[in-house]
Amino acid sequence: MSGWDIRPQGVQGVLKTAGETAGGIEKQATAFGEHLKSAATSAGTVAADGAEGADNGGLVALALSQFAEHAVKDIKFVAARAGKSLTGAVEATTAYLDGDLTMAAQAQREALGAPDIDPEKPGVQEG
């Protein structure tokens, strides 16, 4: 007997909450991108003569762009990891339940089978 004791209703509740939270990652990632873009646009540029210009990106915009490139990879990884974790939890719970059903069916077949009234069968040597 294993030490597992999975309650499918509890797993379902946790998966629902985790799924809703993971779904929020996409919204947050979109907002993140919009805020970075706004910050880069608002930063403006510094020209060689010290005058500010808004037509070209400056050092801050460049730095934000490079930061975004790396951050987007991390955000995508977190979202993918969350998805795989949720899928794995569903698959593990399903396998656990299938195993319970298989064991229950086997126990029922054994219980409904004809009893062995002659435990000493020919050809079996004690010993």
Instruction: Name the residue type at position 112.
Output: L
Q: Which pair of tokens denotes residue 43?
A: 């930063």
Residue 9 to residue 1: CA distance in whole angstroms: 22
| pLDDT computed for residue 2 by the predictor | 57
| pLDDT computed for residue 3 by the predictor | 67
Per-residue pLDDT of the chain (127 residues; tens, 9 = 90+): 456 677 888 988 999 999 888 888 888 888 888 888 888 888 766 544 444 444 556 888 888 888 988 888 888 888 888 889 888 888 888 888 888 788 888 888 888 877 778 777 765 555 4
| pLDDT computed for residue 49 by the predictor | 47
**What pTM does this model have?**
0.60
- Of 29, 11, 14, 37, give the one whose Cα is nearest residue 78: 29
